[in-house]
Amino acid sequence: MSVANTTVKKKKSEFAKYPAGDKTILIIAYVILGIFLCAIILPVLYIILASFIDPITLQNKGVTFDFSNWTTTAYQRVLGNGQIWVGFKNALIYSVLFTIISVIITLLAAYPMSRSDFRFKRFFNTIYVITMFFGGGLIPTYLLISDLGMLNTIWAILLPGAFSVWNMIIARTYYQGVPHDLEEAASIDGASEMVYFFKILLPVCTPIIATICMWQFVGMWNSYFDAMIYLNDVSKQPLQLVLRGILIQSQPEPGMVSDMQSTAQRAQLAELLKYATIIISSLPLLIMYPFFQRYFDSGIMAGAVKG
Amino acid sequence: MNKPLRAKEKVPLKQRTHNTLVYLRQHWQLYLIFMLPAFVLTIIFRYIPMGGVAIAFMDYNPFRGLWHSDWVGFEHFNRFLSSPDFMKYLMNTLKLSVFGLLWGFPAPILLAFLLNRILSSKIKQKVQLVLYMPNFISVIVLCGIVRILLSPTGMVNMILGTNYNFMTMPQAFRTIYIASGIWQGAGWASIIYTAALSNASKDLKEAAVIDGANLIQQIKTVEWPAIKDTVLIQFIMAVGNIMSVGFEKAYALQTDLNMGASEIISTYVYKKGLLDGDYGFSTAVGLFNTVINIILLISMNTIVKKMNEGKGI
């Protein structure tokens, strides 16, 4: 209680320091920020509320605060359906494997690029930077994947995007900020580059590694395009493709609505399922992400400033 | 140890080659372990498809393959450049990205300035937690939310007291696309500016306050200079990507009825190429898009260099 009081006092006194004109500006700033916060929170609250309302009320009256007819049927139906779990499982497999492969390759490649004495650095740099602005495009890439026999396999998802030039540049910039004394000391002790890299360099780069891991994981978890064009089997679909069927195409998995008699009932239920699906599918990342927040500032700044 | 290797200039060619060989022998791990995987992936998945753009000049037949298909020159280009649809898709793409840039680019900068006005660091952290949250929602879920909120019985119509079906209105598409983009991305994009602002010299700011500078003057003289470079770099990057409007979101927000505004080059390439199997034509459209993008990037970089005393990227 006393702690809370003092912080309020401190804040007040700091606010009081500003001259009258500035106070007006501050208040306007807080109002704009408040509007932005509301714009984020309100839709989320709306969807949470709506996901518990029974389908008929939802269709006729929209969201109400009438608590008598609340139901968890949408959640039971979504969670009781196998396909959403298949989606979760596949998304987890793809995202974990992709993160591991891609982070290892990217961190490795960034090390030579960070050394001033690395021969042919310019050559490699040019090769990589060109790919940031120029590419073959959709069809040639698709035909290549097809020729390599990777269609409908996990490799089509994992390999093409595994090396990220952007992340390499960010890791390289971070390495360059590590004192060179460490490197010299290691080479005098006769440590090979591998030993130096894994035993000395990587342990002091945790913020940037955590940041890149998070980017790659979230990026893979949330994408659907590659899976849509390269994977045909329903059993290989990641979560986002399953969600696409439910949310965008309004075609819930058959098992979720098949016990309903009329088409109208099915449509009502399909609508309700969307709300529960949004909540269920977004929860894992939204719960995880605050734990990464402490890395955001240090990690993202490290490379991004120099671009 | 490195010194003799570094002095490249006056060393004769033979000696230089010898030095390089010695370097390669000493540092083979750098090439074979550190660099090889990334290099191989880049060559296979980035450079081989670049050769594949030859399809754009071919009557490509999947059964005959790249080497046995007939060349048709610029036929595909002529076909789409003369079709009225193409102009429409190009304009849709350009409008979406130019307006997206106009509205979307300043938003995170404004947010960073606003965040910097919060006096308590604890509150600031909580506000940031909320602002960053939408970034972790997937494109599909975002578009699902948008469709729900904008449906005739959804929240927006509830507030407005109307019952428009926004998703079927071509004139609403761009607003929906850009506003939802700001909703999702502005908070996250503000991180980089917030961090740059925190680098603004405290001494300078205190001096400004002692000199009686008001908030606006402080922003002008201390805070804006601290983030100017970051803003410029971000702007060049954004312009460089102006033609690569994301496929995923546009496709997920498309309905049969808003196609007049929502069909953009990337969705057209996908439909023509993978759904209709018109490989050559689709590749030509994609190539055209890339070329425009590169021209924009180079000219933008030149302009910025001139304005910014020779500093570009």
Q: Within 13 Å, how many C-alpha atoms sit on residue B257's CB side?
A: 7
Which residue in the set A139, A162, A163 is minimally distant from B282, CB to CB? A139
Identify the weakest region by mean pLDDT among A127-131, A187-191, B305-309. B305-309
Look over chain A and give the mean of its residue pLDDT values, rounded to a whole number: 86
Q: Do A214 and A103 fall into the same domain? A: yes
Pairing status of strand B58-59 against strand B70-71 = antiparallel
Lowest-pLDDT range, A13-17, A148-152, B128-132? Answer: A13-17
Question: Residue written as tokens 């342990």?
Answer: A203
| A242-281: pLDDT as tens digits | 999 999 988 888 778 777 778 888 888 888 899 999 999 9
Q: Are residues A223 and A248 both part of a single domain?
A: yes
Domain boundaries, chain B: 3-71, 83-137+166-307
Answer yes or no: do A60 and A158 share one domain.
no
pLDDT at A307: 38
Q: What is the mean pLDDT of chain B?
A: 87
Interchain contact, A33 vs B114, CB within 8 Å: yes
Say what the pLDDT of residue B292 is. 85
**pLDDT (mean) for A62-89:** 84
Inter-chain touch B46–A197, beta carbons under 8 Å: no
Nearest to A40 among B1, B131, B148 (CB): B131
Q: Which residues contact B298 (CB under 8 A, 6 or more apart)?
A: none
Tokens 């030509």 belong to which residue? Answer: B284
B80-89, B202-211, B268-277: lowest mean pLDDT where?
B202-211
**Nearest CA to CA, how far is B84 from chain A (Å)?**
23
Structure tokens that stand for B307 in this block: 């304005």
Dig out the tokens for B170 from the structure.
């071509």
A184-235 pLDDT, tens digit each: 777 777 778 888 899 889 998 888 898 899 889 999 999 999 999 999 999 9
Q: How far apart are CA A107 and CA B207, in angstroms?
A: 43
Give mean pLDDT, residues B192-219. 82
Beta bridge partner(s), residue B58: B71
Residues of B in contact with A26 (CB under 8 A): 117, 215
Name the range with the highest mean pLDDT among A98-107, A289-298, B72-81, B262-271. A98-107
Confidence of residue B233 (pLDDT cuts 50, 70, 90): confident
Chain A residues with CB under 8 Å of B41 CB are 105, 159-160, 162-163
- With an 8 Å Cβ cutoff, is B248 touching chain A? yes
Closest by CA position to A58, among listed A243, A281, A270 = A270
| Nearest chain A Cα distance for residue B114, angstroms | 6
pLDDT band at A297 (very low <50, low <70, confident <90, very high): low
pLDDT of residue B2: 45
For the cut 50, the answer to whether the pLDDT of residue A1 exceeds it is no
**Residue A3, pLDDT above cutoff 60:** no
Same domain, A69 and A94: no
Task: Pick from B140, B278, B296, B298 the residue to mutate for testing the A interface (most A CBs within 10 Å).
Answer: B140
Q: Do the Cβ atoms of B148 and A47 come within 8 Å?
A: yes
Q: Cα separation of A108 and B37, whole Å?
A: 9
Residue A304 pLDDT > 60, yes or no?
no
Q: How far is A278 from chain B (nearest CA, A)?
A: 6
Q: Identify the domain containing residue A19 by its residue range.
A: 2-73
- For residue A305, what pLDDT is reported? 43
The whole-number average pLDDT for the span B13-19 is: 84
* Integer Cα distance of B35 and B26 in angstroms: 15
pLDDT of A53: 85
pLDDT at A104 over 50: yes
Q: What is the pLDDT of residue A99?
A: 97
pLDDT at A242: 93
Q: Please give the structure tokens belonging to residue A62.
A: 């929209």
* Pairs of CB atoms within 8 A across A/B: 273
Q: Do residue A83 and residue A45 come from a single domain? A: no
Q: Does the CB of A150 have a partner CB in chain B at under 8 Å?
A: no
Mean pLDDT of B200-211: 79
- A65 and A86 in a single domain? The answer is no
Residue B1 scores a pLDDT above 50: no
The minimal CB distance from A243 to the residues B20, B114, B141 is found for B141
Give the residue on B whose Cα is nearest the Cα of A44.
B145
The answer to whether the Cβ–Cβ distance between A163 and B138 falls below 8 Å is no
Same domain for A94 and A142? yes
Render pLDDT for B241-265 as a digit per residue (tens, 0 to 9): 777 777 899 999 999 999 999 999 9
Of A166-175, A201-210, B207-216, B218-227, the range with the lowest mean pLDDT is B207-216
Q: Do A139 and B52 touch (CB under 8 A)?
A: yes
Cβ distance A222 to B24 less than 8 Å, yes or no, reads no
Asked whether A246 and A100 are in contact (CB, 8 A), the reply is: no
Does residue B311 surpass a pLDDT of 80?
A: no
Please tell me the distance in Å from B30's CA to the nearest CA on chain A.
6
Indicate if the pLDDT at residue B103 is higher than 70: yes
pLDDT for A105 beyond 50? yes
pLDDT (tens digit, 9 = 90+) per residue, B135-164?
999 999 999 999 999 988 888 988 898 888
Q: Which residue of A has its CA nearest to B113?
A: A29
| Residues A141 and A6 grouped into a single domain | no
B274/A139 Cβ within 8 A: yes
What DSSP string runs through A166-213? HHHHHHHHHHHTS-HHHHHHHHHTT--HHHIIIIIIGGGGHHHHHHHH
B132 touches chain A (CB under 8 A): yes
Span B27-61, pLDDT tens digits: 898 999 999 999 999 999 999 999 999 999 988 88
pLDDT of residue B3: 46
Q: Does A275 touch chain B (CB under 8 A)?
A: yes
CA distances, A161 to each of A52, A105, A119 (Å): 39, 11, 26
* Chain centre distance of CA B276: 28
Q: Per-residue b/e over A229-265, b at no fewer than 16 CB within 10 Å?
A: bbbeeeebbbbbbbbbbbbbeeebbeebbeeeeeeee
8 Å CB contact of B127 and A33: yes
Residues with Cβ within 8 Å of B180's Cβ and at least 6 positions away in sequence, in order, are B142, B143, B146, B249, B253
pLDDT confidence of residue B7:
47
Same structural domain, A193 and A299 = yes
Instruction: Name the residue in chain A with its Cα closest to that of B237.
Output: A307
Last residue of a domain, one of A73, A103, A132: A73
Tell me, yes or no, whether A39 and A185 share the same domain. no
How sure is the predictor about B308, in pLDDT bands with cuts at 50, 70 and 90? Answer: low
- Say whether both A137 and A11 belong to one domain: no
Give the pLDDT mean for A95-110.
97
Q: Which residue of A has its CA nearest to B217?
A: A22
Instruction: Tell me yes or no: is domain B83-137+166-307 CATH 1.10.3720.10.
Output: yes
Q: Is B23 close to A304, i.e. CB distance below 8 A? A: no
Number of domains in chain A: 2
Q: How far apart are alpha carbons A18 and B97 in whole angstroms?
A: 40
Scan residues 270-309 of B and list those with Cβ closer than 8 Å to A. 270, 273-274, 279, 282-283, 286-287, 289-290, 293-294, 297
Which of A45, A60, A134, A139 should one mutate to test binding to chain B, selecting the residue with the greatest count of B CBs within 10 A? A139
Question: Residue ranges of the alpha helices (H) in B44-138?
Answer: 48-52, 65-68, 75-82, 84-104, 106-115, 121-132
**What share of residues in chain A are helix, strand, coil (percent, to 5)?**
80, 0, 20
Residue B49 at interface with chain A, using a CB cutoff of 8 Å: yes
Q: In chain B, what residues touch A11 (CB-CB under 8 Å)?
A: 119-120
Chosen domain end from A50, A73, A96: A73
Is-above-0.90 flag for pTM? no
DSSP B200: S
User: Does A178 share its domain with A150?
Assistant: yes
Q: Is residue B226 very low, low, confident or very high in pLDDT (cuts 50, 70, 90)?
A: confident
Nearest CA to A52 out of A244, A280, A288 is that of: A280
More confident residue, A285 or B209: A285
What single letter denotes the amino acid at residue B131? L
- Using the predicted structure, report yes or no on whether residue B200 has a pLDDT greater than 60: yes
Q: For residue A284, give both structure tokens.
A: 């894992």
Q: Please spell the DSSP secondary structure of B265-293, one letter per residue.
A: HHHHHHIIIIIT--HHHHHHHHHHHHHHH
Residues on chain A touching B46 (C-beta within 8 angstroms): 131, 135-136
Q: A46 and chain B: CB distance < 8 Å anywhere?
A: yes
**B38 vs A109: CB contact, 8 Å cut-off?**
yes
What would the two tokens of residue B194 be? Answer: 């917030």
A286 touches chain B (CB under 8 A): yes
Distances (CA, A) of A196 to A107, A189, B32, B33: 14, 10, 16, 13
